[in-house]
RNA sequence: GCGACCGUAGCUCAGCUGGUAGAGCACUCGGUUGUGAUCCGAGUUGUCGCGGGUUCAAGCCCCGUCGGUCGCCCCA
């Protein structure tokens, strides 16, 4: 402390942290999301920050940059670390369901709001540590398609009512993987690559996609035409007179039509069928979701998910289909913060600052504060009998809306300056 | 992991063709007795990211390195 050599702290890139006034709004958001999720009957689950590496990599290649845990004082010749931070909440859920299979009641509906970690290079809206808010439904053997339709409805309700989101234009884009995969069947021997290219259509444009499909996937011009017709227009419109080229494609078409029709009570622009959407995660098998700011789709998806017919199958010998969606909380929040659209106000949750005009009023102040707290108000005590000038400006700076004078029992409204006699037992703020 | 740009007080930045650092904000105190937001005065704050080189002299030039931002990859 007294040393003149200070270590100058700097933020760790990709690991956001906020000031109290921002955090206050963040908590408001999390509470809001939690309430909506619970209103649909989802129950809360929290899993450890770490999973065994084998669990995380059970599905597909580990192309995600996973943070592996390594102990600082690892003993020489010690075994390699087997634990890693989870990079999403879906894989841990699958493990969770498999592990507690006997004790869960199906359909199992859970929400999970935790941090996840990805070792990617940070950018605007992309972090290395961030919060996701997931809802998923998992059932045994089969899961009604109604759940696929319920997901976007819940998300729409949640996002459009978040404080500060009222005027944001967002759009849920939905698709069904079976359509594109069915269509590509037999047209290329590199379907994954073709999907990756098509998924980028918004970013790189139709011409570039056309070029790449021909060059990298060896798809002939006629088939490219068919594909581009499918993904280059409003999907729901295209579906009306599209002929399926195989069973898988037909199934996908039927499913997406059903989902879209179930969502007809939402505003016109809220949900759009976009057949170019595939999503990178390889465990999705049917419906997929993506959500963007209509005026800034390049910012990336702020809420994605989909159906997976067999995720837990890696951990248990049962058929456990599920569908889920995840709010990219940090990405969404960061965008509104950056644009100054969050309702940032107070720096403290205190409603009242209990002043201390003189030391001999301390007991009285404590008593009044306790009474106020019992009645549901948040009260901070000023513990040093400094000039009132200081105490008031402290309240002002922290954005505490009321100050209390314990001596003669008066309360002052900092916004209006009005000061009146009040009883801590019965006092309530003006609105 | 690859490419482009950037790195000066806690924050945002200025610093002329190289001559050994400044502004605003913030912070502390004050403008007399128990009342804040404005205003005024005073004060504190820097190994100019780090290391090396060129030079009589470098924040400014060169090389390296680390860190940051953006793009690619991938994704919430």
> What is the longest distance spanned by two Cα atoms in chain A?
90
Task: Give the C-alpha distances (Å, rounded to integers) separating A359 from A38, A121, A403.
Answer: 48, 55, 17
Is the distance between the Cβ of A409 and the closest atom of strand B smaller than 7 Å? no
Is the distance between the Cβ of A289 and the closest atom of strand B smaller than 7 Å? no
Q: What is the ipTM of this complex?
A: 0.86
Å separating the CA of residue A13 from the C1' of nucleotide B10: 18
Architecture of the domain spanning A352-421: 3-Layer(aba) Sandwich (3.40)
Which single residue is written with the structure tokens 């949900």?
A: A271
Is the distance between the Cβ of A16 and the closest atom of strand B smaller than 7 Å? no
- Tell me if residue A219 falls in helix, strand or coil: coil
pLDDT digits (tens, 9 = 90+) for A15-30: 988 989 999 999 999 9
Per-residue pLDDT band for A120 (boundaries 50, 70, 90) equals: confident
Which single residue is written with the structure tokens 């998806």?
A: A301
Per-residue pLDDT band for A369 (boundaries 50, 70, 90) equals: very high
Structure tokens at A22: 């921002």
Cα distance between residue A96 and residue A84, in whole Å: 16
Q: Mean pLDDT across the stretch A308-321? A: 88
Residue % of chain A over a pLDDT of 90: 57
DSSP state of A58: S
CATH code linked to domain A20-338: 3.30.930.10
Protein-contacted bases of chain B (C-beta within 7 A): 1-2, 10, 27, 29, 33-37, 47, 67-76
Cα distance between residue A23 and residue A398, in whole Å: 14
pLDDT digits (tens, 9 = 90+) for A31-55: 999 999 999 999 999 999 999 988 8
Residue A26, H or E segment: helix A20-39
Structure tokens at A132: 């996701």
Å separating the CA of residue A305 from the C1' of nucleotide B73: 21
Cα distance between residue A55 and residue A97, in whole Å: 13
Cα distance between residue A117 and residue A67, in whole Å: 7
Give the number of other Cβ atoms within 10 Å of residue A236's Cβ.
17
Q: Mean pLDDT across the stretch A267-273? A: 91
- Protein-nucleic contacts, chain A 129-188 to strand B, CB < 7 Å: 130, 132
Considering chain A, tell me which residue range(s) the CATH 3.30.930.10 domain(s) occupy: 20-338
Å separating the CA of residue A266 from the C1' of nucleotide B26: 47
Cα distance between residue A174 and residue A172, in whole Å: 6
Give every CB contact of residue A142 below 8 A, 6+ residues apart in sequence.
Answer: A319, A321
Do you find a cis peptide bond into A107, omega within 30 degrees of 0? yes
- Tell me if residue A412 falls in helix, strand or coil: strand
The per-residue pLDDT of chain A, averaged, comes to 89
Structure tokens at A346: 């107070």
Cα distance between residue A396 and residue A292, in whole Å: 38
- Tell me if residue A166 falls in helix, strand or coil: coil
Å separating the CA of residue A10 from the C1' of nucleotide B18: 31
Is the distance between the Cβ of A407 and the closest atom of strand B smaller than 7 Å? yes
Task: Give the C-alpha distances (Å, rounded to integers) separating A44 from A34, A47, A183, A380.
Answer: 9, 10, 39, 32
> What is the residue-wise DSSP string for A290-345?
EEEETT-GGG--SEEEEEESSSGGGTSSS---EEEEEE-HHHHHHHHHHTT-S---
Q: Mean pLDDT across the stretch A241-268? A: 91
Considering chain A, tell me which residue range(s) the CATH 3.40.50.800 domain(s) occupy: 352-421
pLDDT digits (tens, 9 = 90+) for A209-229: 888 888 888 888 888 888 888
Is the distance between the Cβ of A241 and the closest atom of strand B smaller than 7 Å? no
Structure tokens at A74: 């690892």
- Cβ atoms of residues A283 and A311 within 8 Å: yes
Can you give the C-alpha Rg of chain A in angstroms?
Answer: 27
């Amino acid at each position: 402390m007294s040393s003149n050599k200070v270590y100058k702290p700097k933020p760790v890139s990709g690991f956001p942290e906020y000031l109290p006034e921002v955090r206050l709004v963040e908590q408001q958001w999390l509470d809001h999301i939690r309430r909506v999720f619970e209103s649909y009957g989802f129950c809360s689950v929290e899993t450890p920050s770490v999973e065994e590496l084998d669990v995380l990599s059970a599905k597909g290649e580990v192309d995600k940059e996973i943070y592996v845990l390594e102990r600082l004082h690892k003993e020489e010749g010690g075994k390699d670390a087997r634990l890693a931070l989870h990079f999403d909440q879906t894989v841990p859920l699958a493990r969770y369901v498999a592990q507690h299979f006997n004790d869960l009641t199906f359909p199992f509906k859970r929400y999970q709001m935790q941090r996840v970690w990805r070792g990617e290079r940070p950018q605007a809206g992309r972090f290395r540590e961030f919060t996701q808010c997931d809802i998923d439904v998992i059932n045994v053997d089969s899961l009604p398609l109604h759940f696929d339709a319920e997901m976007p409805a819940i998300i729409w309700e949640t996002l459009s009512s978040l404080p500060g989101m009222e005027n944001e234009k967002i759009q849920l884009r939905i698709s069904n993987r079976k359509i594109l995969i069915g269509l590509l069947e037999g047209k290329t021997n590199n379907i994954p690559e073709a999907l990756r290219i098509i998924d980028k259509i918004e970013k790189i444009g139709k011409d570039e996609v056309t070029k790449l499909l021909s060059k990298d996937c060896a798809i002939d011009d006629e088939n490219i035409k068919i594909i581009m017709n499918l993904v280059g227009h409003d999907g729901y419109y295209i579906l009306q007179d599209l002929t399926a080229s195989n069973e898988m494609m037909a199934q996908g078409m039927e499913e997406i039509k059903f989902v879209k029709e179930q969502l007809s009570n939402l505003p016109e622009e809220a949900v759009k069928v976009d057949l170019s959407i595939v999503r990178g995660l390889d465990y999705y098998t049917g419906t997929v979701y993506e959500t963007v700011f209509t005026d800034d789709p390049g910012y990336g998806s702020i809420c994605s998910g989909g159906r997976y017919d067999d995720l837990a199958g890696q951990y248990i010998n049962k058929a456990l289909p599920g569908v889920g969606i995840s709010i990219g909380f940090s990405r969404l929040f960061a965008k509104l913060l950056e644009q100054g659209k969050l309702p940032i106000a107070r720096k403290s949750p205190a409603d009242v600052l209990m002043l201390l005009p003189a030391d001999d009023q301390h007991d009285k102040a404590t008593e009044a504060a306790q009474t106020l707290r019992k009645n549901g108000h948040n009260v901070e005590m000023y513990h040093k009998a400094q000039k009132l000038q200081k105490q008031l400006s402290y309240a002002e700076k922290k954005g505490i809306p009321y100050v209390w004078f314990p001596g003669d029992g008066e309360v002052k409204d900092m916004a209006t300056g009005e000061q009146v006699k009040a009883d801590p037992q019965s006092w309530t703020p003006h609105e």
